[in-house]
């Protein structure tokens, strides 16, 4: 009996002996156990990763890449604005940022009291949040009234006179 275990021919014969029986390659010979053949059929030869070619690994199922990029879907004028209005009407969050409103509140407070900028008043965060909410509610009410007045005057765009009239009506 010849010792062929260490020769290159012996190694090749040993690695392909188990694979020849299943005809699945050397990696398939290592898969043993009760469901080995089922796993081989399910995954294929390379572990279920599919063919890796120029089609991005889709195995010939995908479309070829587009030659020219498609133009973006264009919306009609005003369609994006109406979609934004709908999303804002559904939400309950405040529109003006907290930092900007905080600066505005501090500035108005300092100017109304006649203080110097270095004599800053201290505000708690709930107080600023309350003034922020009240201010946005008031502005929303004014804009709604102004819009109603513009519709009553049979035009779409609001103007300065309607805004002043809405403020007078809301203050009363």
From first to last of its 172 residues, the chain has per-residue pLDDT tens of: 555 556 666 655 555 554 444 455 555 455 566 655 555 555 555 555 555 555 555 555 667 766 788 888 888 988 999 999 899 989 999 999 999 999 999 999 988 888 777 777 899 999 999 999 999 999 999 999 999 999 999 998 999 999 999 999 988 7
- Residue at token pair 């819009």: 147
Q: What is the structure's pLDDT at 11?
A: 59
Whole-number Å distance between alpha carbons of 37 and 45:
11
Q: What is the structure's pLDDT at 139?
A: 93
Give one DSSP letter per residue of the chain, joined into a string.
----SSSHHHHHHHHHHHHHHHTS-HHHHH--STTHHHHHHHHTTTTT----STTSSSTT-SPPPPSSPPPPPPPPTTHHHHHHHHHHHH--S-SS-HHHHHHHHHHHHHHHHT--TTSPPP--HHHHHHHHHHHHHHHHHHHHHHHHHHHHTT-SS--HHHHHHHHHHHH-
Q: What is the structure's pLDDT at 22?
A: 47
Whole-number Å distance between alpha carbons of 22 and 36:
11
């Amino acid at each position: 009996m010849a010792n062929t275990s260490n020769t290159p021919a012996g190694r090749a014969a040993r690695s392909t002996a188990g694979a020849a029986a299943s005809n699945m390659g050397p990696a398939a010979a290592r898969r043993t156990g009760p469901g080995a053949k089922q796993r081989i059929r399910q995954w294929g030869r390379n572990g279920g990763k599919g063919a890796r070619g120029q089609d991005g690994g889709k195995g010939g199922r995908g479309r070829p890449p587009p030659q020219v990029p498609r133009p973006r879907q264009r919306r009609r004028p005003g369609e994006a604005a109406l979609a934004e209005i709908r999303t804002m009407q559904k939400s309950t969050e405040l529109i003006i940022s907290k930092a900007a409103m905080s600066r505005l509140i501090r500035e108005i407070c300092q100017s109304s009291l006649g203080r110097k900028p270095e004599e800053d008043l201290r505000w708690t965060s709930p107080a600023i949040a309350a003034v922020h909410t009240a201010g946005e509610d008031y502005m929303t009410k004014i804009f709604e009234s102004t819009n109603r007045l513009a519709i009553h005057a049979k035009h779409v765009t609001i103007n300065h006179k309607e805004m002043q009239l809405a403020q007078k009506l809301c203050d009363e």
